[in-house]
Amino acid sequence: MRAWKLSVYSAILFSVALVLVAQEVPQQISKFDRLIAQDMLKTVTDDVRKHYYDPKMHGLDWAAKVAEAKQRIEKADSWNMALSEIAAVLDSLNDSHTLFFPPPRANRYDYGWQYQMIGEHCFVTRVRPKSDTEARGVKSGDEILTLNGYHPTRHNLWKMKYLSLVLQPQPALRAGLQDPAGKQRQVDVPARIHEGQGYGILAGGGDIWDRERRKENTELLLNVRDVEFGEQLMVLKVPEFYFSISKIATVISKARKYPALILDLRGNPGGNIENLKYLIGSMFDKDVKIADLVGRKESKTEIAKVESQQFPGKLIVLVDADSGSASELFARVMQIEKRGVVIGDHTSGSVMGAERYREKTGIGRVVVYSTSVSEWDPVMADGKSLEHNGVTPDEIVLPSAEDLSSGRDPAMARAAELLGVKVSPAEAGKMFPYEWLPE
């Protein structure tokens, strides 16, 4: 199924505290593992060569890139390093959705925090209560000046997470922090290890019941939620574009009773194209063009058909730096069609239409892995692509370090104010309480 979704976000950013980390394999890579890595390199790079939307590979000499990676894998001194060489070839395309997902790992690590870019700065946004990270004094509102020695930026933060959490997992992260008062300090953020709870063949299948429980709990966190303010306003929180059409239809029907709607897409990494088309179609009384999908051999136009249940009132869309893919396309369509006002932070600029290719290799010990390959570049009705550009809000409203520390939400409060409803930033911050996944 084709999806507009930032794969790294779905795997890492949404629940960055929860990651699958290195299995118990020797640091010294075996001859067998090296052969496995070389086979994965060939399969992964062949998938990209065959399916990538730009057959010219942005001018790269793809064969030469692959040959160089093969040589480096021959010299790699660890399994993680060999995997990193595969990922590095795909990274040379500088494409948000073309990524290597290595074999699953044995253990699950919980770092007990979440963080993201706000404006041009990276902040801790949540810390798990009673975690070791909280005990180390890490708090919401702390700015992350460095992470494992690197300065986080909008361009590199997701790559830093991908490297440290997927390719070369860490038992602890060294963070250079600055509190809202300006005091700087170094903190080692430890990981709590949940042994044997990874998923996949390499991990021996993991604990299937733990996996199912975590899947159910994650789905609960992704549920569409709403809050009502008298007869004036409804606020709708959509964590991802993976929802039941019948459920969202019921919510839109409910929203029709109100003159105004705030659609909160902050932290939404994207999702299914059919969900995107349905939600856009629910905001108009006509068919609306989403984008022209520019592919390897052809282009096609995606149209959101008008839905039977439409919301006709005033609309404000909230976005932030973690709003990716389908959520960016939704926000930009609202701007182009002059249907609603977009408020918040500049979005991630990660919008390619990708396909996931699941692969396996090995005899006896089977290794499973996958590749996400961008097959379409969505070009908006204004002739521009959002990839690497993102959506610039009509009004930029960012939380300060003090807002994060105190749990205030100035963007939500501002949106409500524009729609004639008085909500303080403190009240707005309590609107959708965050629930941590059970450990």
3-state DSSP assignment of residue 190: strand
What is the phi/psi pair of residue 169, to 5°? -60, 150
- Co-location of 87 and 236 in the same domain: no
The residue among 4, 1, 2 whose CA lies nearest residue 352 is 4
**Following DSSP, what letter does each residue of 239-287 receive, concatenated?**
SSB---HHHHHHHHHHHTTSSEEEEE-TT--EEEHHHHHHHHHTT-SS-
Domain annotation covers residue 263 = yes
Q: What is the pLDDT of residue 15?
A: 32
C-alpha pair distances (Å), 314 with each of 97, 234, 250 = 33, 11, 19
- Co-location of 239 and 146 in the same domain: no
Query: What tokens does 171 get?
Result: 């038992």
- Co-location of 93 and 144 in the same domain: no
Sheet holding 192-194, edge to edge: 18-21, 107-110, 192-194
| Integer Cα distance of 89 and 68 in angstroms | 9
- Co-location of 93 and 140 in the same domain: no
Helix and strand totals (H; E) in the chain: 13, 21
The residue among 283, 282, 280, 286 whose CA lies nearest residue 380 is 280
Contact 376, 101 (CB under 8 A): no
- Co-location of 268 and 403 in the same domain: yes
- Co-location of 132 and 90 in the same domain: no
- Co-location of 185 and 252 in the same domain: no
- Co-location of 415 and 308 in the same domain: yes
Tell me the angle at which helices 31-51 and 62-75 cross, rounded to the nearest 10 degrees.
170
The residue among 312, 214, 213, 201 whose CA lies nearest residue 255 is 312
- Co-location of 30 and 149 in the same domain: no
Domain annotation covers residue 216 = no
N residues, the chain = 439
Domain boundary pick from 82, 101, 120: 101
Domain annotation covers residue 439 = no
Contact 276, 336 (CB under 8 A): no
- Cβ-based burial of 198 (10 A; exposed 0-12, middle 13-18, buried ≥19): buried
Domain boundary pick from 79, 101, 123: 101
3-state DSSP assignment of residue 28: coil
**Rounded to two decimals, what is the model's pTM?**
0.89
| Integer Cα distance of 113 and 140 in angstroms | 9
| Integer Cα distance of 259 and 268 in angstroms | 25
Contact 6, 95 (CB under 8 A): no
Domain annotation covers residue 372 = no
What is the phi/psi pair of residue 20, to 5°? -95, 130
| Integer Cα distance of 169 and 179 in angstroms | 26
Query: What tokens does 108 get?
Result: 């699950």
| Integer Cα distance of 153 and 158 in angstroms | 9
Domain annotation covers residue 364 = no
- CA 85 to mean position of chain CA atoms: 23
Q: What is the pLDDT of residue 99?
A: 93
Query: What tokens does 134 get?
Result: 């909280």
- Co-location of 92 and 196 in the same domain: no
Query: What tokens does 423 get?
Result: 């909500």
| Integer Cα distance of 395 and 413 in angstroms | 13
- Co-location of 171 and 259 in the same domain: no
CATH of the domain at 181: 2.30.42.10
Residue with token string 């990676």: 69
Domain boundary pick from 101, 130, 150: 101
What is the phi/psi pair of residue 421, to 5°? -120, 130
- Co-location of 144 and 273 in the same domain: no
3-state DSSP assignment of residue 75: helix
Contact 368, 203 (CB under 8 A): no
Contact 98, 372 (CB under 8 A): yes
Q: What is the pLDDT along the chain (439 residues), one digit of tens a residue?
A: 344 443 333 433 333 333 333 333 445 789 989 999 999 999 999 999 999 999 999 999 999 999 999 999 999 999 889 999 999 999 999 999 999 999 887 777 788 999 999 999 999 999 999 999 999 999 999 999 999 999 999 999 988 888 777 777 788 999 999 999 999 999 999 988 777 644 333 333 334 334 444 454 555 567 899 999 999 999 999 999 988 888 889 999 999 999 999 999 999 999 989 999 999 999 999 999 999 999 999 999 999 999 998 999 999 999 999 999 999 999 999 999 999 999 999 999 999 999 999 999 987 778 899 999 999 999 999 999 999 999 999 999 999 999 999 999 999 999 999 999 999 999 999 999 988 877 6
What's the total number of domains in the chain? 3
Would strands 314-319 and 341-344 be described as parallel, antiparallel, or unpaired?
parallel
Q: What is the pLDDT of residue 2?
A: 42
Domain annotation covers residue 435 = no
Contact 359, 44 (CB under 8 A): yes
Task: Give the structural domain span for 272.
Answer: 222-351+386-429
Domain annotation covers residue 73 = yes
Domain annotation covers residue 59 = yes
